[in-house]
Homo-oligomer: A and B are copies of this chain.
């Protein structure tokens, strides 16, 4: 599917994706918190994709890819490499269609995520925790099975699917000034750019990234993709680098990229659990961490915060003593 990487998804692709995936996803709720509004001076609207099917927004893109396949293409199943939530989501979507899903996952991925992938019927092949190993092992799996590759983010079908999230948020909350989401490979941010650049170009798009995996931040400043191999951060969904398609959206439409330290991410995560009573994973605490760190930038604004997922290993919470 090399050609796909060069095909930009359109706003109409997003609308078609939304119609296609609606039976398989939740229209997730938007929560507010007077505590966080007072703390930040902003009006925050949390789009809770942690309540999404399979526990994360990634089911949007995965479902769009799976249910867009012809019967002939679908027969051999789908395959992917993923740091976690895309694997869960593709397994879920493939299960709903009744086709196999092959997943290459780092052996160091949280046990809770591996068990959940298997719970949805995904077939796991493990690799080392580096981009290079993942790609090598994946090539072998794909050659053996002939399954359709669904990249976690560098795929127009996936980006069009993720773009349905910000479309819903626009329908749920009026007059936003800013939307903010985490950035790893850039699938969610690219989808947000796709929707907002067409439907609400006046809304600033801010990406939030861990300091310890700040390749997107450095790419943004340098004007070209800078990719790190195997960065270390508690925000395990955000270790992967930008690719051609997501770089297109990031470089053209993102207003700014802000970063947060590991401690700031964990503090924001814990504070959200305490005050909002929702389970969010470390990756999706990064936007709130950057808001708390840059209050002047957000004060007085209406801010849509995409809470990307809630899949954590409850036996290995970052504030637990190991």
Hey, which bits of chain A sit against chain B, CB under 8 A? Answer: 29, 31, 48, 50-51, 55, 112, 270, 273-274, 276-280, 310, 314-315, 317, 319-320
A-B contact pairs, 17 of them (CB 8 A): A29-B29, A31-B51, A48-B277, A50-B277, A55-B277, A112-B274, A270-B314, A273-B279, A273-B314, A274-B314, A277-B279, A277-B280, A277-B310, A278-B278, A279-B279, A314-B317, A317-B317
- Are A277 and B278 closer than 8 Å at their CB atoms? yes
| Chain B residues within an 8 Å CB radius of A320 | 320
- Are A315 and B319 closer than 8 Å at their CB atoms? yes
| Chain B residues within an 8 Å CB radius of A278 | 277-279
| Chain B residues within an 8 Å CB radius of A315 | 319
This chain: copies in complex: 2
Nearest residue, chain B, Cβ from A281: B277
Nearest residue, chain B, Cβ from A269: B314
- Are A277 and B319 closer than 8 Å at their CB atoms? no
Q: Which of A29, A51, A277, A314 has most chain B Cβ within 10 Å? A: A277
| In the bound complex, CA of A314 to CA of B50 (Å) | 19
| Chain B residues within an 8 Å CB radius of A50 | 277
| In the bound complex, CA of A29 to CA of B277 (Å) | 13
| In the bound complex, CA of A31 to CA of B280 (Å) | 17
- Are A51 and B314 closer than 8 Å at their CB atoms? no
| In the bound complex, CA of A277 to CA of B274 (Å) | 13
- Are B51 and A277 closer than 8 Å at their CB atoms? yes
Q: Which of A48, A112, A270, A310 has most chain B Cβ within 10 Å? A: A310
Q: How far is the CB of A96 from chain B (nearest CB, A)?
A: 12
Q: Which of A29, A51, A314 has most chain B Cβ within 10 Å? A: A314
| In the bound complex, CA of A5 to CA of B186 (Å) | 61
Q: How far is the CB of A33 from chain B (nearest CB, A)?
A: 9
| In the bound complex, CA of A31 to CA of B51 (Å) | 10
| In the bound complex, CA of A277 to CA of B280 (Å) | 7
| Chain B residues within an 8 Å CB radius of A310 | 277
| Chain B residues within an 8 Å CB radius of A29 | 29
Nearest residue, chain B, Cβ from A310: B277
Nearest residue, chain B, Cβ from A322: B321
Q: How far is the CB of A224 from chain B (nearest CB, A)?
A: 37
Q: Which of A112, A274, A315 has most chain B Cβ within 10 Å? A: A274
| In the bound complex, CA of A280 to CA of B31 (Å) | 17
| Chain B residues within an 8 Å CB radius of A319 | 314-315
Q: How far is the CB of A280 from chain B (nearest CB, A)?
A: 8
| In the bound complex, CA of A278 to CA of B276 (Å) | 9
| In the bound complex, CA of A274 to CA of B55 (Å) | 9
| Chain B residues within an 8 Å CB radius of A280 | 277
Q: How far is the CB of A123 from chain B (nearest CB, A)?
A: 22
Nearest residue, chain B, Cβ from A116: B274
| In the bound complex, CA of A319 to CA of B29 (Å) | 29
